[in-house]
Structure 1
Amino acid sequence: MTATTAAPRPVRLINYLAYGANDVLGAGAMAVISAWVLVFYTQFCGLSASQAALIFATARILDAIASPLIGHVSDGFGRTRLGRRFGRRRFFILAAIPLLPSFALMWLPGMGFVYYLVSYVLFELVYALVIIPYETLAAEMGSDYPTKAKFAGFRILFAQGSAVLAGFLPLWLIEWLGRDSADTFFYMGVVFAGLFMLAAGGLYLFSWERAAVAAPEPAPGSPLAGLYRNLASTLRIRAFRLHLGLYLGAYISQDVFNAAFTFFVIFALAGSTQIASGLLGTMYIVQFVAVLIAIQVALRAGPAAAYRVAAASFALGVVTLLVQWTLGIPVTSALIWLGIGLVGLGRGALNYIPWATYNYMADIDEIVTGKRREGSFAGVMTFVRKATQAVAVAGVGLLMDAGGFVPKAAVQSAGAVHTLAAILGVGTLCVLAAGVLISLRFRLGPQSHAVLMREIDHLRAGGRTPTSPQSRQIVEDLSGWRYDQLWGNNPVGK
């Protein structure tokens, strides 16, 4: 396949499937890591919760630095010989495929702190080589709202399918290998590494990039300074700032929940690793169904309203789990399934909505700058996500240690259990509340996006005044700039 196309190409089912399947890597890896890495390090490798959190945080911070660089480089990579041959985005995906087995190396039992730190950092960098270009491709292959919404829908459906596997696979392996076998996680890593390679290969074969458009020129002076000026300029787009708030509210709340949930089941509800695995798998099945519902609700009521409904469901599920613990109701009770169901319904929708809106950010940026900077936006998304996720999960580990958590212990103290419950409840609910408050100011939807695209065509054709007062209001609300400052008449991206 060629790297770019001179005219729009029809998007077929195979393209949607190939695009969506790559989130087996994007979301699948994160589902496995967020649910199991602290358990693996503390319960099977003997690391303290603080050591495990330090590994996670260090890898995330290094990746948060590398990811914007990859996005920035990919925006201008089409000017190189390799970029012209393999694609300015898709070259990085191709290069990363033989490195994806590094995921399995993270889960080798019996190693020390330094090994787990290095192997985790290595995988995070390989992950970024695929995910940053991947996050640009929906905007590259699609231009209208429904097409981009379908890309987001296929992506999140595959993401939830991989999360189901992340939940149930340890349970199946435990039944096969035995409850105390650390090899459970290594074999899980091998299975997922194989799936990652297949998904990335399919994405490369069945994706493309739009014909070359105005790309950011290298900034004068220090390349590194130019990089961060360009990335920081994405935050001058109002809708993108609000989008980041929605995204972090949805995903960081899940990071906190995931990091604490397995421990909460084992030590607060007196369950086991097998029970926690089955509950996670069930929750992810519900999330899969919730995505199908969220697609329809977001198209009809708008993404912001759907976000608030989803957050309320997630919060109610968390409260249900805390009530079960407070009342001493056993983990085998039917009440836990109500809590898991509500959590799954909310999380599935919260996974879909931010990615559905993300696909339109480069369009809003284009009306401000007159350029296409998908890679820069993908880099900033990953930078902010990884940096805040590092803080969230590291914070969970540090709080667990402060609360008296003891690695490899079969029973934890009352103080440690109360700390786990507080993390699961207060931590999750506070982050969700922040996302809901931001959603009240977010007004991107199918109608406003259609107006945006008409105004882009109008400006591209030489127009300088808005086509209507309503169009002016919509575009200025989304962009955060006056109409006369649009289409490059501003310092953004320069």
Structure 2
Amino acid sequence: MSQSSSHTPRGRRSAAETTVTPLPWKAKLGYSTFSLSYVMQTMIVTWQMFYFTTFLNVPMAVTAVLIATGKIVASVIGPVWGYISDRMYRNALGRKFGRRRSILIFAIPANFVFYLLLWIPDLPIPVYFFANLLYWAFFAGITTVQYGLPSEMTENPTQRAQLVGVNQIAGAIGGTFLSVLNVYLFTIWGKDNWESYFNMALLYGIIGTAVLLLGFLSIQERPFDESTNVSDADVSGDGDAGANAGSTDNVGANGRLGFGRRLVSVVWNFLSVLKVKEFRNYLGLYLSEECFRTVRGTLNTYFVIFVLLLDPQTVSLATGVNLLFGIACVGFFMWVTARIGGPRAYRLGGFEVIGVFLAMFVLAMNAGSLPTGTRAVLYIGLGLFMNFGITGVVNATQYTYTFIPDVDEIITSKRREGQYAAINSTIDDIFSSAETIVIGLVLEATGFVEGAQSQPPQTVFALACLFSFAPIAICVIGIVFTYRLKLNRENHELLLAEIARLREGGSMADVTDETRALVESLTGMPYERCWGHNNVINVARRG
């Protein structure tokens, strides 16, 4: 398959072209820059709530609502980013830069500007509110592109696994760099003044934006052809591709949808993907993984400072050491996941994570009787074991996701990586927003004191319980969903072979019984209703 993003004539790609053509390392490293840019996101996740409540004197409840509202906006705008990016070959900008790159042209600079506003002191709360809202809105555009690229860049499972692994390693390197450098910067700038946090945020904003620009120049995309020409499916009104239907007020003579139909189409494309059975099963894994990591990330600083009675440098040092250890874990889990599959690798990491959270609770309950050095060593040591399990869960989840757009293609005959990437981000934002609000309200209810150097005993106990048991409960839900997934490597190869056969003009009537059974188990619909004979993309289409 040609990996250029230029406008090429419509045509079908053979199985050999789509699954064998190797990706150059320039493209793989270009994809890794998205995770490297998360030095900005790590700064926000680790320090924003602490910075707002400690130095900006914003009440805890207000801070929680402010952060959650931004994520809710991102969850609403995410499907729009995905919908637009899948259809950017419709216009000249998309054909010039690529349907994914054209989104980055807008999202990268806006992301930097609104990120930086969050760290400027003495601004009115409404300014922080809207800056946070717009930061998350444009960050959703970047993550939509990132999540879709492994399936976008190649159909080869091994190369997708490499992209997932490179992505994790880059994230660990970026997180390690931030955390270790933070220790040094806290030493020379101090830890009890807002200037230190602002200067760090500025530094990471510049670094994150610079690497995103490198990624913009390096990533590769699918060419324009029948499968990426998603816009055609928007205006067909019956079971035959390209047929026009719908009201004449909403579909123009040039085949473009009017505003009303376009709005309906955005909403419908968001909802209709939930018809896909394997995607619903995957969401159980994804939401569990994202939610328990969000709880841990949100509460980690408070847990270390107010429960374990350690200082901010310990937070950064522990994060850096754990992420560095995670780089080695990625290679191990890439091998394990390829051998035993995503669901089993998820269970391996998930059960290990549960054990570590239980150990963290025991440490919290005995923190008062242990010397400071002992507490720090035990926290960092347990963090290493936890990061091993988290690495496995994340690797298994991301690897499993790369197969989902292929299931969608057998249903729609189109490549909609952007749509699924946006749904991932949207549903995650909805759940993480709810978590943030609940955490803030619970802490407020237990007597959390903004700006204080210590907290009441009931607040400390609530922090210990939330940090330990909430992630355990969420992780158990994810483990349950691993038993429902059907898409392993062998089934994926069979699915790709059927997609390639149909791309090359093969008849649906010639499907084998084995392939029919597999497609129906993955999609949750009769085989005859697949390959565009449905209304998954276009609600006005019959099939």
**What is the TM-score when the length of structure 2 is the normalising length?**
0.86
1:158 aligns with 2:199: no
Distance 1:86 1:409, change over 3 A: same
CA distance in 1, matches of 2:479, 2:39: 26
Q: 2:211 aligned with 1:199, yes or no?
A: yes
Decide whether aligned partners of structure 1 residues 290 and 112 sit closer, same or farther in structure 2, where only a CA change above 3 A counts: farther
1:448-472 Cα offsets, whole Å, 9 max, x none, are 1111101112333323246544333
Asked if structure 2 preserves the Cα contact closer than 8 Å seen for 1:58 and 1:121, the reply is yes
Q: 1:67 aligns with which of 58, 67, 78?
A: 78
In the alignment, structure 1 residue 172 sits paired with structure 2 residue 211: no
Q: Distance in 1 between matches of 2:446 and 2:333?
A: 38
- State how far apart, in whole Å, the 2-side matches of 1:168 and 1:466 are: 59
Q: Which residue of 2 aligns with 1:479?
A: 523
How many residues are matched? 493
Query: Letter of the aligned partner of 1:134 in structure 2?
Result: Q
Deviates more, 1:407-416 or 1:42-51: 42-51
Letter in 2 for 1:31: T
Q: 1:2 to 1:297 in 2, by over 3 A?
A: closer
- Structure 1 distance, partners of 2:517, 2:378, is 48
In structure 1, runs of 5+ residues without a counterpart are none
The alpha-carbon deviation at position 300 of structure 1 amounts to 0.4
Answer with 133-142 or 306-315: which moved more: 133-142
Quick one: distance in 1 between partners of 2:70 and 2:525?
Answer: 37
Q: Distance in 1 between matches of 2:492 and 2:74?
A: 32
Question: 2: distance between equivalents of 1:447 and 1:4?
Answer: 33
Aligned equivalent of 2:6 = 3
- Maintained 8 Å contact 1:19/1:203: yes
The residue type equivalent to 1:64 in the other structure is S
d(CA) in 2 for partners of 1:136, 1:43: 37
8 A Cα contact 1:368 1:485, kept in partner: yes
Give per-residue Cα distances to partners, 1:184-209, cap 9 Å, x unaligned.
22122222212222222222212232
The equivalences for 1:54-453 within 5 A come to 54-102=65-113, 103-212=115-224, 213=227, 214-216=229-231, 217-218=233-234, 221=250, 222=260, 223-328=262-367, 329-333=370-374, 334-453=377-496
Moved over 6 A (4+): none
* SS of structure 1 residue aligned to 2:77: helix
* Cα 1:191/1:402, change in 2 over 3 Å: same
- The answer on whether the counterparts of 1:257 and 1:428 sit within 8 Å (CA) in structure 2 is yes
Which digits, 9 at most, give the CA deviation of each residue in 1:308-353, with x for residues without a partner? 1111121111111111111233452243233211211111222222
Amino acid at match of 1:311: G
Q: The residue matched to 1:271 in structure 2 has which SS?
A: coil
Structure with greater Cα Rg: 2
1:99 alignment partner AA:
A
Q: Distance in 1 between matches of 2:193 and 2:484?
A: 49
Tell me by how many angstroms 1:69 deviates. Answer: 0.6
Q: 1:50 and 1:171 mapped to 2: Cα distance? A: 29
The 8 Å contact of residues 61 and 440 in structure 2, kept in 1 or not, is answered as yes
Q: 1-side partners of 2:510 and 2:355: how far apart?
A: 44
SS of residue paired to 1:375:
helix
Shift, 1:118, TM fit:
2.0
The one-letter code sitting in structure 2 at the alignment partner of 1:281 is G
**1:168 and 1:436 mapped to 2: Cα distance?**
33
Residues 244 and 4 of structure 1: CA distance in aligned 2, closer, same or farther (over 3 Å) = farther
Distance 1:112 1:279 in 2: 34
What is aligned with 1:49?
A: 60
What secondary structure, in the 3-state scheme, does the structure 1 residue paired with 2:472 have? helix
User: Aligned partners of 1:259 and 1:97: how far apart in 2?
Assistant: 25
Sort the Cα spacing of 1:75 and 1:485 in 2 relative to 1 into closer, same or farther, 3 A: same
How far apart, in 2, do the equivalents of 1:184 and 1:284 lie? 23
Contact 2:27/2:220 (CA < 8 Å) preserved in 1? Answer: no
In structure 2, distance between residues paired with 1:280 and 1:48: 27
5+ residue gaps, structure 2: 236-245, 251-259, 539-543
Asked if structure 1 preserves the Cα contact closer than 8 Å seen for 2:64 and 2:437, the reply is yes
Q: Any conservation in 1 of the 2:357–2:469 contact (CA below 8 Å)? A: no
Residue aligned with 2:373, SS: coil
Amino acid of the structure 2 residue aligned with 1:332: G
Is the partner of 1:332 in helix, strand or coil? Answer: helix
Q: Which amino acid aligns with 1:394?
A: I
Counterpart in 2 of 1:38?
A: 49
Shift of 1:443: 2.5
3-state DSSP class of the match of 1:335?
helix
Instruction: Name whichever of 465-474 and 285-294 sits farther off.
Output: 465-474
Partners of 2:36 and 2:174 within 8 A in 1: yes
Q: Assess, with a 3 A threshold, how the Cα gap between structure 1 residues 296 and 474 changes in structure 2: closer, same or farther.
A: same
- Letter in structure 2 aligned against 1:389: S
1:395: how far off? 1.6
**TM-score, with structure 1 as normaliser:** 0.95
Q: Could you tell which deviates more after superposition, 292-301 or 326-335?
A: 326-335
8 A contact 1:286–1:348 mirrored in 2: no
Residue of structure 2 in register with 1:464 after alignment: 508
Deviates more, 1:236-245 or 1:472-481: 472-481
Do the aligned residues in 1 keep the contact of 2:22 with 2:159 (CA within 8 Å)?
no
**Could you tell me how far apart the structure 1 residues matched to 2:499 and 2:288 are?**
30
Residue identity (%): 25
Question: Does the CA contact (< 8 Å) of 2:28 and 2:219 recur in 1?
Answer: no
Q: How many angstroms does 1:407 deviate by? A: 0.7
Deviations 1:258-284 (A, max 9, x none): 111111111111111111221222222
Instruction: Tell me the SS of whatever aligns to 2:432.
Output: helix
Return the offset for 1:367: 0.4
What whole-Å deviation, never above 9, does each CA across 1:113-158 have from its counterpart, x for those lacking one?
Answer: 2232122122212222322223322222212211212111111111
For 1:331 and 1:483, the matched residues in 2 are separated by 63
What value does the CA root-mean-square deviation take over the aligned residues?
2.0
- The answer to whether the 8 A contact 1:362-1:373 is kept is yes
The whole-number CA distance in structure 2 between the counterparts of 1:396 and 1:287 is 27
